[in-house]
Structure 1
Amino acid sequence: MGVEQILVPGSNCWRVERAHRAACLVEGEEYFAAFREAVQHARHRILILGWDIDSNLRLMRGKNGDGGPLGDFLNEIVSSRPELEANVLIWDFAMIYAIEREWLPVYRLGWKTHRRLHFHLDDEHPLGGSQHQKVVVIDDAVAFVGGMDLGKWRWDTSEHRPGDPRRVDAAGNAYLPYHDLQMVVDGPAAAALGLLARRRWESATGQSLPGPEPRGDPWPESVVPYWLEVDVGITRTEPRYRNRPQVREVERLYLDVIAAAGKYLYIENQYLTAKVIRDALAARLREPDGPEMVIVVPLKTGGWLEQNTMDVRRRALISHLRKADRYGRLRIVYPDVPGLAPDHISVHSKLMIVDDVFLRIGSSNLNNRSMGLDSECDLAIASAGDPHHSSGIIQLRNRLLAEHLGVGPDEVQAQFTTTGSLLATVDALSGKKRTLKELNDQSHLDPELEALVNSIDLVDPEAPVDPEELAERVIPEEQGRPASRGLWSVIVTLVVLFGLAAAWRWTPLGEWLDLESMLGALDAIQEHPWAPALVLAAYVIGGLLVIPITFMVAVTAIGFGPLWGFVYGLAGSLLSATVTFGIGHFMGRNTIRRVAGSRLNRLSQRLAERGLLAVITVRVLPVAPFTVVNLVAGVSHIRFKTYLLGTVLGMAPGIAGMVIFIDRLIAAIREPGFYNFAITIVVIIALVGVAVLLRRWVLRRRAAREETEAGD
């Protein structure tokens, strides 16, 4: 089967549906303007699926910009039309991405919104995955699909001008030039995408959304169609989760198209790490008459985490491809703009054009997780022998190469017509001020670290991660531990748990754990000579009873004031952590797994590495109850001194902030007035600022420590 007729529903795509009009939107400037126009014509329902969203995003900028943020815009549109509803479904993201996302999307797009603007965070995916589809549907009549979320750091123009004053986020912070693509379709293709979005909403919320009756035409007026009456393939990745089967149409279509390519493959992608893609491309490069390949990637990916994981794996894949390139048909390049160094263009697009007859644009990266773990949605057009459909694909190819090479689309087409070769065209037009440069990554990592990153599938998994397997990697098997010891551990644990259950049910213990009772107990021991020992003992007992550590610190701060509240809070936390660490070490991994259950799995999901930084991370970003973290740490390979130091560094700032906040809050309550309330507000702002800085410090330090601490 030729690549121009490659789409097969049920195999490499979900459905093939007719679009009366279809177009490509290059860069955020075009997409956000088109999105805004389409939403202004919405009458029944707006559906938004995304990895990210930012209510403060300014859709229009410059002379024609209205300056209004996305959240206000959606509120105004919905509130002005009684029949209009909007549903926003965003990935319930991992904390590792918190810095680059809006902190309170539920507040910005939940509590503050109109009652017909519905917002939900979607966590219906397996361990380690994400909801990566980027789909917007207006009245089931127009739909947008591609690589761009309605998030911050996405807006840019095709010029990617260094220092462009419009390229700033809501806080006024400049960000890197950003290159990405989106498709817009109407007709039955848009209706099918509406069905996909409604199914996602129902899966995440349990609420079924009715399909709208077709009416009106929300097609954005500024968008000139590339294609008329064209069939569009919708291809997905959906991981196996609960009762949902796995869908790997994205991977299948990539492999089918690479195998069928005749003359050339033109690829743009944020990542290049997928093993199946590596093998498929390498196989074609080894053929004497295989296709030419031009692959556009960013010089570097986003932050330190990606640069020390995904870029390392990309370097290994590129090395593999270049060794397979026996006939000189491969170019792996990045776009360069004069005056931009040391910055670079963040290439975020997910594009493949083949032989002038096939196009795909969507959310899927060329990494392992897009093949089977993250949800993805791409659109594809195969010309099926129609020259009008091929002309739209050629138009986009010329436009993109012209942008990257600093020339006009006509010059690209003239060169391609003369040479008949994609490689020859790129080589002939390269070398100007704005150009595509060969990627030659000369960065050096410690060889052991590089080998480790390339060997760990958890860095870029292609299938859901088994919690038990992840726990095995974090917590080692016991060696040489007598069976009787494990048996007695289980017996003692069961006796203690049943005893606690009985105590909570039939003794005053259940009534004791309230603020008034605990403050009364503190009043009784404050003046006692053994007060310090009693407070520390209370922390140990509280840890054994799995009483929240924040509750105990708060009570201590109220009873003893900020100074001694901090001293007792930190000392008590450390003593409780030490005791429960020892208990975990004695009981062993299997027993702790039985006791902690799903809590252990959630903790294992968040742990990225053993060592000091891992302990600091779980203290700064608490992913499981204090006692559970301590028990799990006790059966891991973390050294006790490292564990204790990480606990101090991770908890001290939080305890200090809590006691200061409580002290100021009590002052404001006792003596209401502008001064005390103002001081309380200042303390809250300062605590939030410290939290942001501490989180950033944790993330930066991880890169520096990866050479000495164990990996994933």
Structure 2
Amino acid sequence: MERILQEGRNCWRILPAKRTAFLIDGAAFFDAFFWSALRAERSILITGWDIDSRIRLFPEEEREGFPPILGEFLLALARRKKKLHIHILGWDFAAIYVFSRELFPVFRLPWKRHRRIHFHLDGKHPLGGSQHQKVIVIDDSIAFVGGMDLTRGRWDTPDHQVYDSRRLDPNGKPYGPFHDVQMAVDGEAARALGDLVRARWQRAKGKVIKPPAPTGSDPWPKELAPALNELKIALVRTEPAYNGRRAIKEVETLYLDSFAAARRFIYMENQYLSSFSIGKALADSLREEKGPEIVLVLRAGSEWLEETTMGVFRAKLLARIREADVHGRLKVYFPTAPGIDGRGINVHSKLMVVDDTFVRVGSSNLSNRSMAVDAECDLAFESAGEARMEKTIREFRTSLISEHLGVGREEFEKVFEAEGSLIRAVEQLRGGSRTLVPFPKEELSWTSELIPDSTIDPIEPIDPEKLLYEFMPEEVPGKGPRKLLRFVIMLVVLIGLAAAWQWTPLKDVVNLETISEAGEYLHGTGVAPLIVLTGYVIGSLIMFPVTIMIVATAFMFGPFSGFLYSLSGCVLASVVTYGIGWLLGRKVVSRLAGSRLNRLSRRLARHGIIVMTTARILPLAPFTVVNLVAGASHIRFREYVLGTIIGMTPGITAATIFERQLEAAIRKPDLYSLSMLALLGILILGAILIIKKRFFAGSSEGVKG
């Protein structure tokens, strides 16, 4: 097999390591981290997509005199080791994750209990991107890289029992079986990973971390047996273009180069499958008369929000890849275990094996954003013809597939050798209670075409200049119709709810009677205004669509009270987020607005009521984004509130009217009621288009500044 890894093309550096090991599933990774951290003398560097101080590293109540809780463990280490500095760099996460993460790291409270524990949230990434690298480096002597963060829901064993009393989140809530993989390396590869984390810390916080002085001790745990000794490890990155730094797309390039070099088989496990470039490369390979078998192990049965977004993208891409499989060389599976009731084990791993001569493990998903938008880090190595390395890669691949099939490694290897085909070996052995199940061919509804992949799974960082350009009524941008498409999606979703409530079990849980009863109950308690207003404020803080809140309010309280509650809630929410924008100031909000903020501020100051009214009437930008930018601008508060009231009133009125027809469609979903609902939606959309056309035609020149 030809060499795949090339420095400067598909990897950052190729460096020697004395040892490497594969850590399959969270229990192995957490144990290795614990034992290695115990041996730390000068430095522990941790960076990740999510870090939770409340997780348990091990099930016991104590180990070697140390507590099992991550935050308490690191605090005890810092107190015991006087020269040890611990740096923790998390992602300054998006608002939609606020309720699924530890709250207080936002204020750094769990990590401010010792002066040598340093914590920071990394916000130095483009709009829509994230810090997704999962790297831990100890004394620059050992590093862990892979798909796992030190956060909740990750600990599990290869048994993946459906019910495991040890598998609890920090709130004591059980979670399902979870599969992931990490790699450990030492030597120069570990030192380079330390450099990577230190550089990221400097960009994020503006402070330099000095490399640790040599300690003379070895933090590699004696409990961790190396899989290989004396090899060369490639460090592979994605770094989006940001603040003058060029984009680095080694992750994507290495995937494509690996596919092109494959001869016998490609084996991949991944959480997602939505990357356009990956899908095209796989399809091209499958169309070739002679090419490698491709076996994909993916996650199935994730949460509803993920299934309606990334799940839709996966279904689209899989349909195209399967269509290209004219020679029958593709199999797609998900792993399951007894008692899961058709749902799969949560596959979170991001790994690849090619021909038992090449392997990679890391943080990168097979998604568009992992190729260009999120910061990623993978490790890879190839055998270069060495039998010992091919043996290790084969054993790693066999361990993974045997775990999924619930069979012994020797049994799988025997069948694989006899069949000479990865697909035939899997097909012959699967079918038990613990097994690999063919991934279903998912039916795509017509609404799947309306999901905006350009914002959920973008192929490049979202340009804030374009966002503001579309927001401002200075000119009529060519992308205006696509902005209005969001409104169309909202109408379609609401129409779909009418059918969902009538023809699915949802009608037995959430129906007009229960919603009305809830509204009447709240009315009777006298606290309805407080609850509704609080809901609008919270909704705006997490960027929940304001149109849905308006329709839900009308459902619960009827047209008149619903209108008053909605208008009051929108005004209060806009005032709160305006205040946040004002407090954050131009420097922080400029992360969203970029160099156009000063010009936007002058326009708002000169034409505040006109601009605010227009932004409220027309679906040109998210409600919360408008509020934050206005708060950081020069607009007068009085004009801001007045423009909000004037601009929101027609929309709330239309939404309330729309709700009455939606209610009629839910009660009696016949052709007439659904047609009237669709007609009303079209009329509302038409009115918006007319207003947009006439306003821009008559005032676009007048608001230039």
TM-score w.r.t. the length of structure 1 is 0.70
Q: Which residue in 2 is equivalent to 1:469?
A: 466
Check conservation: 1:612, 1:642, Cα contact below 8 A.
no
Distance 1:269 1:263 in 2: 20
Could you list the per-position Cα deviations for residues 280-329 of structure 1 after superposition, in whole angstroms to 9, with x for gaps in the alignment? 1111000011100000001133x333211111011000000000000000
- Which amino acid in the other structure matches residue 24 of structure 1? F
Distance 2:232 2:26 in 1: 25
- C-alpha change, 1:213 and 1:424, in structure 2 (3 Å) is same
Shift of 1:640: 3.7
Distance 1:141 1:13 in 2: 21
Q: Which residue in 2 is equivalent to 1:120?
A: 120
Could you list the per-position Cα deviations for residues 476-496 of structure 1 after superposition, in whole angstroms to 9, with x for gaps in the alignment? 77669xxxxxxxxxxxxxxxx
Q: Which residue in 2 is equivalent to 1:132?
A: 132
- Which amino acid in the other structure matches residue 625 of structure 1? G
Distance 2:645 2:5 in 1: 49
Q: Which residue in 2 is equivalent to 1:689?
A: none
Other structure's SS at 1:56 match = coil
Check conservation: 1:176, 1:344, Cα contact below 8 A.
no
- Which amino acid in the other structure matches residue 127 of structure 1? L
Segment of structure 1 superposing worse, 216-225 or 282-291: 216-225
Distance 1:572 1:95 in 2: 19
Check conservation: 1:146, 1:361, Cα contact below 8 A.
yes
2:55 to 57, 60, 63: 57
Distance 2:453 2:23 in 1: 37
Distance 2:641 2:296 in 1: 44
Q: Which residue in 2 is equivalent to 1:231?
A: 232
Q: How many percent of aligned residue pairs carry the same amino acid?
A: 45
Q: How do residues 74-153 of structure 1 correspond to structure 2 at under 5 angstroms? A: 74-107=74-107, 112-153=112-153
Q: Which residue in 2 is equivalent to 1:333?
A: 333
Q: Which residue in 2 is equivalent to 1:216?
A: 217
- C-alpha change, 1:594 and 1:359, in structure 2 (3 Å) is farther
Other structure's SS at 1:190 match = helix
Q: How do residues 189-200 of structure 1 correspond to structure 2 at under 5 angstroms? A: 189-200=189-200
Distance 1:87 1:421 in 2: 47
Distance 1:7 1:157 in 2: 32
Check conservation: 1:71, 1:108, Cα contact below 8 A.
no
Check conservation: 1:300, 1:311, Cα contact below 8 A.
no
* 2:422 is the counterpart of 1:422: yes
Q: Which residue in 2 is equivalent to 1:254?
A: 255
Distance 2:323 2:348 in 1: 26
Q: Which residue in 2 is equivalent to 1:22?
A: 20
Distance 1:201 1:257 in 2: 31
- C-alpha change, 1:473 and 1:402, in structure 2 (3 Å) is farther
- C-alpha change, 1:318 and 1:632, in structure 2 (3 Å) is farther
- C-alpha change, 1:192 and 1:626, in structure 2 (3 Å) is closer
- Which amino acid in the other structure matches residue 351 of structure 1? L
User: How many residues in Structure 1 have an aligned counterpart in Structure 2?
Assistant: 541
- C-alpha change, 1:463 and 1:596, in structure 2 (3 Å) is farther
Q: Which residue in 1 is equivalent to 2:296?
A: 295
Shift of 1:204: 1.1
- Structure 1 unmatched runs, 5+: 481-566, 582-588, 648-706
Shift of 1:467: 1.2
- C-alpha change, 1:182 and 1:645, in structure 2 (3 Å) is farther
Check conservation: 1:13, 1:233, Cα contact below 8 A.
yes
- C-alpha change, 1:610 and 1:55, in structure 2 (3 Å) is farther
Shift of 1:138: 0.2
Q: Which residue in 1 is equivalent to 2:280?
A: 279
Other structure's SS at 2:455 match = helix
Distance 2:429 2:450 in 1: 40
Distance 1:211 1:194 in 2: 8
Check conservation: 1:26, 1:182, Cα contact below 8 A.
yes
Other structure's SS at 2:149 match = coil
Q: Which residue in 2 is equivalent to 1:504?
A: none
Q: Which residue in 2 is equivalent to 1:460?
A: 457
Shift of 1:166: 1.2
Check conservation: 2:178, 2:346, Cα contact below 8 A.
yes
Q: Which residue in 1 is equivalent to 2:4?
A: 6
Q: Which residue in 1 is equivalent to 2:558?
A: none
Q: Which residue in 1 is equivalent to 2:205?
A: 205
**Highest Rg: 1 or 2?**
1
- Which amino acid in the other structure matches residue 17 of structure 2? A
Shift of 1:205: 1.4
Q: Which residue in 2 is equivalent to 1:389?
A: 389
Shift of 1:220: 1.6
- Which amino acid in the other structure matches residue 450 of structure 1? S
Could you list the per-position Cα deviations for residues 485-520 of structure 1 after superposition, in whole angstroms to 9, with x for gaps in the alignment? xxxxxxxxxxxxxxxxxxxxxxxxxxxxxxxxxxxx
Shift of 1:350: 0.3
Distance 2:324 2:158 in 1: 34
Distance 1:284 1:251 in 2: 16
Segment of structure 1 superposing worse, 90-99 or 433-442: 433-442
Shift of 1:79: 1.2
Shift of 1:412: 1.2
Shift of 1:472: 5.1
- C-alpha change, 1:321 and 1:127, in structure 2 (3 Å) is same
- Which amino acid in the other structure matches residue 356 of structure 1? D
Q: How do residues 378-457 of structure 1 correspond to structure 2 at under 5 angstroms? A: 378-442=378-442, 445=445, 447=446, 449-453=447-451, 456-457=453-454
- C-alpha change, 1:294 and 1:643, in structure 2 (3 Å) is same
Shift of 1:201: 1.0
Distance 2:570 2:195 in 1: 51
Other structure's SS at 2:156 match = coil
- Which amino acid in the other structure matches residue 54 of structure 1? D
Shift of 1:345: 1.5
Distance 2:107 2:274 in 1: 36
Could you list the per-position Cα deviations for residues 586-622 of structure 1 after superposition, in whole angstroms to 9, with x for gaps in the alignment? xxx998575469xx9xxx9xx9x9979965x779x97
Could you list the per-position Cα deviations for residues 211-235 of structure 1 after superposition, in whole angstroms to 9, with x for gaps in the alignment? 1223210002221111110110000
Q: Which residue in 1 is equivalent to 2:631?
A: 625
- Which amino acid in the other structure matches residue 221 of structure 2? P
Other structure's SS at 2:196 match = helix
- C-alpha change, 1:258 and 1:112, in structure 2 (3 Å) is same
Distance 2:8 2:404 in 1: 36
- C-alpha change, 1:325 and 1:88, in structure 2 (3 Å) is same
Q: Which residue in 2 is equivalent to 1:559?
A: none
Distance 1:442 1:450 in 2: 11
Shift of 1:112: 3.5
- Which amino acid in the other structure matches residue 4 of structure 2? I
Shift of 1:456: 3.8
Shift of 1:164: 1.2
- Which amino acid in the other structure matches residue 163 of structure 2? G
Q: Which residue in 2 is equivalent to 1:37?
A: 35
Check conservation: 2:287, 2:324, Cα contact below 8 A.
yes
Distance 1:572 1:300 in 2: 36
- Structure 2 unmatched runs, 5+: 478-563, 579-596, 657-680, 686-705
Check conservation: 2:108, 2:120, Cα contact below 8 A.
no
- C-alpha change, 1:462 and 1:570, in structure 2 (3 Å) is closer
Could you list the per-position Cα deviations for residues 85-111 of structure 1 after superposition, in whole angstroms to 9, with x for gaps in the alignment? 010011100011112211111555555
TM-score w.r.t. the length of structure 2 is 0.70
Q: Which residue in 1 is equivalent to 2:178?
A: 178
Q: Which residue in 1 is equivalent to 2:544?
A: none
Other structure's SS at 2:395 match = helix
Distance 1:572 1:407 in 2: 58
Distance 1:330 1:342 in 2: 22
Distance 2:573 2:46 in 1: 46
- Which amino acid in the other structure matches residue 138 of structure 1? I
Distance 1:274 1:349 in 2: 16
Distance 1:171 1:297 in 2: 28
Q: How do residues 507-522 of structure 1 correspond to structure 2 at under 5 angstroms? A: none
